[in-house]
Structure 1
């Protein structure tokens, strides 16, 4: 029996082989039929997020027939989605689409069909963690009139992250300051600037954004701030003097025609309307009275009560005026070429004419602190010079001019120290003053600089000279916005102070800063403050151009 079973087992494979071969044969020529199928180079394809894969496909039996990609994962891109089978194999390049995908493993099928035939390829993709964030703004700039700025933080990666924003300065608030962002999400961040304690400045800062995935973004942040500390003044200032006895600034203006008394410390003001257009001003040494020059008139005013005491006729268009402690006023003519000083006794109103040499029209005059003399700087002649007049007898008497005739220029204006021992000319030259003609108006040095002086004051006890130079060309000189500080004894320059400018809005959150022009400047009695009358340049286009700025001394 065993022998029979073994014989039958050996015959079964032989029989099956004969059946398969017989089944494949369809004609008398001996050719073999092949089951139609789509043939793939692989049944499984693994992709990397930065790479691609290749799939080769063909059809058996070989014949021309159409094929197409019936379906594929959304995260896969294939160079060919359809075509026609030919004798040559077709090569497909398969790429991953990683944008918007979170980290993790992805599986899918690529299905290929052709005339009722199907084939599938399993595709695997692994996405690693990618941490990335971005800011919608590369920088933040707060204009002078902008208190809020915003920007967006976006999670550009494929993994959730925590972020936080920080800036060292406490006057900038970030809202929100931290949060969590899912992949692809963004959030709006508001930056708020608190200007309440900020000075006038343009400041560059840095805002930092960090994530718990090790990402950092640095955003430059700039803010412009202007703190208005000037006292804005209406009208057009014509002339100004300072009364150190009462620490009061006295000015005359047009538009309206007024004399004004300012207390810079308390920012209080008293005014008196003038009957005529003012041309110049002088304040008495005791600070109680003032005279205002007009065309053919002068007004006499009590500064304590701000009342007009009298109006006197004077036979000249008054260019400059001096009120002396002898209760006389001295008017210097605006025109007439060679003229004389018009001297008015304020007690009687009687006008007399100075004796001695004539003076030049447009002479600028300063009273000597002794109250006995006036020094005048001529204009419109070359070389320029300084003259001295004696007023002890009431009517001014021309005494003499400087011993220099072109050696040292004066350039049309002068300032005398409160101690009375120095005279500084517009040309920055310094001269020693005495009561003796042999030693009076003698060269004593020069202040450092290249331009002429616009305004100056000397405080001997504080040992300070504050001077503002002119700027621009010789055809259009205007006062600068910088105080130059000098030692009053040795005349060495020790520093500078920039005066505040004028900010004009541009309507878009920012503005243009214009340099001020310092036309007048005065020390207070203690030498602890310097008051400067500033004017905005014409191009600023302001209705109110004048202001008062205070500079505190160290």
Structure 2
């Protein structure tokens, strides 16, 4: 893919050219402004130079970085245009940097030495270029969920308030505007309806068929997190920092049922909730107290059983395996999910039954294939909104049986103009999703706050 270099000229000090080269040639060097960005996505990279005053002059490449291997060292301008063709070979002795950089100098007949800076790396969005694996999003992402059977990815954003819907298999994308500000959401079992928790004490029911809000459910609290049961109910944890109880919303009648007093000693506001596949259960962990705890709730009768299972341990966040028998904690540890026993209200801890050995600090997010034989894990520090990441994310493909790491990906950088300067911004991965077969993954990421303004995008990876 071509990289078009601006024609603007400025006489600069050599900088990235060697002093030996200048001393040997004893000639002035004129540098083209800007940089030629080269993405490792390009199998056959090219740099197109548009310099009208070069006319039909011949040139040869007089100086270049060692990682650029040229198709030809000689060329000729045609009406001021020429294309430099090459491929990239990183020297084995060179450390593995984020970017390869250097200067290319052309010795042009009757003009002299003209140079341009080049940067090569894992760059996902270069200005003026289009990559199908990167989708830019508007707004600030608050939550996202994927319905694997229909292949539908739903993203809730603020500024503007909206739902962004993507169906990658059919390349169908659409937006549903919202009147209220969303902060959590989940699909119903058939994938045709989204339940959206707002920053006000209401839940919105959104039909994907009509692409509109079809019902509003008033609550007695603001929903911090919610899950749609497979039984006509929605379960939500209240927002706040006080000891509280679950709320259960009957989607037919609109009735809201508060949990009983037996829950009060274990549940605290701002609790993360997850469904347990293959079981009529939900699980949760608290974000406001330590230890965060593990809570198991029976929903086989619709309204949750007031007696809950509780384990006094720190997990921070968790992801439930497809078989419903294990969960992955943020530390990478794997714990069993015991059968629910209503007569037991609390236990000390669960025994670790495995561990995903990540080369990074913690699990940022995880998803599973439909068959449950593979999971995809985002590795990195604990993701905190608006805080520097501290270390780069990587995405790992993990065998769900022996827990070995099968493959690794890194999020691409974004090329942005910030205050008139080129910034190659790192992207933090907040969510990872996969299709039923595990043939593709999608990461939902934002530019790191220490490098650039907040910009969100989806990056797609093919699993080979």
TM-score (ref. length: structure 2): 0.71
**Structure 2: 5+ residue stretches without partners:** 1-23, 39-46, 52-57, 63-67, 90-97, 108-114, 126-130
- Report what 1:296 is aligned to: 201
Relative CO higher for 1 or 2, CA cutoff 8 Å, sep ≥ 6?
A: 2
Matched, 1:311 2:193: no
- Tell me the equivalent position of 2:353: 444
Question: What is the correspondence of 1:285-434 to structure 2 with a 5 Å cutoff?
Answer: 285-294=189-198, 295-335=200-240, 337-355=242-260, 356-358=262-264, 359-370=267-278, 372-403=280-311, 405-406=312-313, 409-411=314-316, 413-434=317-338
* 1:74-473 equivalent positions in 2, closer than 5 A: 142-144=35-37, 147-148=48-49, 168-170=69-71, 174-176=74-76, 192-193=83-84, 202=99, 222-224=118-120, 226-228=123-125, 229=131, 230-294=134-198, 295-335=200-240, 337-355=242-260, 356-358=262-264, 359-370=267-278, 372-403=280-311, 405-406=312-313, 409-411=314-316, 413-437=317-341, 442-449=351-358, 450-459=360-369, 461=371, 463-471=373-381
8 Å CA contact 1:302–1:308 kept in 2: the answer is yes
Structure 1 gaps of 5+ residues are 1-131, 151-161, 178-188, 211-218
Counterpart in the other structure of 1:538: 449
SS at match of 2:180: coil
Q: Rate the CA distance shift 1:296–1:206 in 2: closer, same or farther, 3 A.
A: closer
Q: Tell me, yes or no, if the aligned pair for 2:224 and 2:239 is still in contact at 8 Å.
A: yes
- Counterpart for residue 81 of structure 1: none
How many pairs align?
384
Alpha-carbon spacing, 1:208–1:401, altered in 2? closer, same or farther (3 Å): same
Structure 1 residue matching 2:402: 3-state secondary structure? coil
Structure 1 residue aligned with 2:408, among 496, 502, 526? 496
Q: Is the 8 A contact 1:288 1:303 kept in 2?
A: yes
> Displacement of 1:209 after TM fit?
10
Q: Report the aligned-residue RMSD.
A: 4.0
- Decide whether the 8 Å contact of 1:389 with 1:400 is kept in 2: yes
List structure 1 runs of 4+ shifted beyond 6 angstroms: 132-135, 138-141, 194-198, 204-210, 472-475
| Distance in 2 of aligned mates of 1:195 and 1:287 | 48
Partners in 2 of 1:144 and 1:289 — Cα distance? 43
Equivalent position of 1:548 in the other structure: 458
Q: How does 1:472-483 map to 2 (within 5 A)?
A: 476=387, 478=389, 480-483=392-395
What's the CA shift for 1:239?
A: 0.5
Deviations 1:311-331 (CA, angstroms, capped at 9, x unpaired): 011111110011111111112
**Distance (Å, rounded) in 2 between the aligned partners of 1:196 and 1:300:** 52
SS of equivalent residue, structure 1 residue 397: coil
CA distance in 1, matches of 2:174, 2:463: 26
With over 3 angstroms needed to count, the CA separation of the structure-2 counterparts of 1:388 and 1:256, relative to structure 1, is same
Give deviations 1:394-440, integer Å, cap 9, x for gaps: 1122443354x34xx312x2111222222112232211224355999
Report how far residue 232 of structure 1 moved.
Answer: 0.2
Q: Distance in 2 between matches of 1:165 and 1:380?
A: 62
Distance (whole Å) between structure 2 residues aligned to residue 196 and residue 257 of structure 1: 44
In structure 1, C-alpha distance between the alignment counterparts of 2:69 and 2:299, rounded to whole Å: 66
* 3-state DSSP of counterpart to 1:315: coil
Task: State the shift of 1:257 in Å.
Answer: 1.1
**Deviation (angstroms), 1:529:** 0.8
- Equivalent in the alignment of 1:13: none
Q: Is the 8 A contact 1:231 1:547 kept in 2?
A: yes
TM-score (norm 1): 0.60
Do the aligned residues in 2 keep the contact of 1:299 with 1:311 (CA within 8 Å)?
Answer: yes
Write the distance in 1 (CA, Å) between the matches of 2:214 and 2:60. 72
SS of equivalent to 1:538: coil
Counterpart CA distance in 1 for 2:74 and 2:291 is: 66
Give the secondary structure class of the aligned counterpart of 1:276: coil
Contact 1:173 1:192 in 2 (8 A): no
SS in 2 for 1:357: helix
Q: Distance in 2 between matches of 1:473 and 1:308?
A: 31
Question: Aligned to 2:150, what secondary structure does the other structure show?
Answer: coil
Q: Are the structure 2 counterparts of residues 344 and 261 from structure 1 closer, same or farther at C-alpha, using a change threshold of 3 Å? A: same
Cα distance 1:481–1:242, how it changes in 2: closer, same or farther (>3 A)?
same
- Higher radius of gyration, 1 or 2: 1
